[in-house]
Amino acid sequence: MCLSVPSQITAIHDDTSVTVDTLGVKRRVSSHLMTEPLKVGEFVLIHIGFVMNKIDTEDAKLSLELYKEIVDKLNDEGSEL
């Protein structure tokens, strides 16, 4: 099973790549597999360094909230060990 965290586009480059922010981590990924135009601020799903598809902003924000809850829960449990 593959898990993809929504990433927000922060910059678009001339070489068919974009910079994305994934939970505070910025990285440059390829967008050459996308047939529709991308815009700064949109959310996308990344797989092995390639933008695979766009994701609705509200869905992305809901997913990110859930991921943060999971991380917080794991951090809380880890501090009890």
Give yes or no for residue 81 having a pLDDT over 60: no
Q: What is the pTM of this model?
A: 0.86
Domains belonging to the chain, first-starting first, are 7-80 (2.30.30.140)
The two three-digit tokens of residue 72, written as one number: 């917080």
Q: What is the pLDDT of residues 26-75, one digit of tens each?
A: 999 999 999 999 999 999 999 999 999 999 999 999 999 999 999 899 99
**Which of 5-9, 15-19, 50-54, 71-75 is least confident?**
71-75
Q: Determine the pLDDT at residue 80.
A: 62
Neighbours of 7 (CB within 10 A): 25
| Residue 23, amino acid | L
Question: How many angstroms separate the CA atoms of 41 and 55, rounded?
Answer: 11
Q: Are 55 and 71 spatial neighbours (Cβ–Cβ below 8 Å)?
A: no
Q: Distance between CA atoms of 40 and 58, rounded to whole angstroms?
A: 16
pLDDT at 25 over 60: yes
